[in-house]
Amino acid sequence: MKSLIKQLVETPGPSGFEYAIRDVIREAVADYADEIRVDALGSLIAKKGTKTDEGMRVMISAHIDEIGLMATYIDEKGFVRFTNIGGVSPLTCVGGRVLFMDGTRGVIGVDGIGWGKMPKLSDLFIDVGATSKEDCPVKVGDVCGFERPFIDLGKRMVAKSMDDRIAAAVAIEAMKRLTSTPHEVHFVFSTQEEVGLRGATTAAYGVDPQVGFAIDVTRSGDTPRTNPKMATALGDGVAIKVRDASFIADPRLVDWMVKSAQEAGIPYQMEVLEAGGTDGRAIQLTRSGVPAGCISIACRYIHSPSEMVDSDDVENAVQLLVKLLSDPIILE
């Protein structure tokens, strides 16, 4: 699974520009899906299973976009000014490296403010090694992602876009292991989550599910000097979301997820995220409403170029997802 994760996290795919990562995923799910389609906003939807009497049409959503940057201005000397795509902090930009969709590489510099001061995004620029505006290969509107290789620390793994490629990996692995399901499952690899859950919004309308689950990363409270500490921690099991800032998970599903984890002996932890949203909201509020939940993976340093997750949590997330999709869904 780690080689799949490495391939997923190292492919660039800022929101709205997911074609490269979509191609990787199309290839990865080809053998396990009964049917694959791409919708108007670029989400890849892989269907698996046939609905039986006790089954439902289920949507699983893992977003494949990541935060990134877009060029807004090339100055006379060939420096590239940029704006953010999704939640990019200037704190994690300085000294960072970026990769444009056409393969152009660059580094992020800053000047004009004192050392140790917090820059604004408008203080920063990308240097692609150009000597003038004329020989700068970047044009206004070009898009880049952060560049940082995957590193395997054994139990822990680090990469630039664990948010949310780790969820894509979980979904793909679950598709692979899911041998029998009473449900018609639509695995949605959604786009434009980081700019407002846009891909999941239209995908949910199209799939018209009876039940849905997002898979996403969540924050962890296990780093030094975070106070008061959020209750989730790396290695404490797959996280079952009760709420985040965007939606309240259906309490019937939450109870069922907890019972399922307990039954199967899968380590789990409860999650209440006070900031941030997930595709679960988009599923819950589509059409006339859908019971929706979310499987989370605790992650440190979210939206930095080095996001860290725990391998056991990832494995537990796969196991829980497979377990949930193998059983009839009980809403009571």
Which residue lies nearer to other proteins by CB, 6 or 198? 198
Identify whether 193 is a catalytic site residue: yes
Least gap, CB of 2 to other proteins (angstroms) = 28
Give the shortest CB-105-to-other proteins separation in angstroms.
Answer: 20
Helix (H) or strand (E) holding 124: strand 124-127
**Which of 17, 189 has the CB closer to other proteins?**
17
Smaller CB separation from other proteins, 150 or 247: 247
Q: Which of 193, 194, 271, 307 is catalytic?
A: 193
Residue 247 in contact with residue 292, Cβ under 8 Å? yes
Listing from the earlier edge strand, what are the strands of the sheet with 307-310?
151-153, 156-159, 307-310
Q: How far apart are the first and last CA of the chain?
A: 35
Output the CA–CA distances (angstroms, integers) from residue 263 to 87, 234, 266, 268, 289, in the order listed.
Answer: 38, 22, 8, 12, 29
Nearer to other proteins, 153 or 331 (CB): 331
Per DSSP, the residues of 214-279 read: EEEEE--S-STT-SSPPS--TTS-EEEEEE-SS-B--HHHHHHHHHHHHHHT--EEEEE-SS---H
Nearer to other proteins, 75 or 263 (CB): 75
Q: How far is the CB of 152 from other proteins (least distance, A)?
A: 30
Q: Smallest distance from the beta carbon of 192 to other proteins, in angstroms?
A: 6
Please state the closest distance from residue 93 (CB atom) to other proteins, in A. 16
| DSSP letter for each residue of 267-319 | -EEEEE-SS---HHHHHHTSTT---EEEEEEE-BSTTSS-EEEEHHHHHHHHH
Closer CB to other proteins, 216 or 250, in the complex: 250
Q: Answer whether 13's CB lies under 8 Å from 86's CB.
A: no
Cβ 100 vs Cβ 140: under 8 Å: no
Residue 140 vs residues 75, 80, 137, 168: alpha-carbon distances, Å: 11, 9, 10, 31
Least CB distance to other proteins at residue 230 (A): 7
Binding stretches for other proteins (CB under 8 A): 15-19, 38-42, 70-73, 75-76, 81, 83, 85, 101, 122, 140-141, 192, 195, 198, 201-203, 205-206, 221, 227-231, 242-243, 246-251, 254, 269-272, 274, 281, 284-285, 287-291
Token reading at 64: 């494949």
Please list the active-site residues.
193
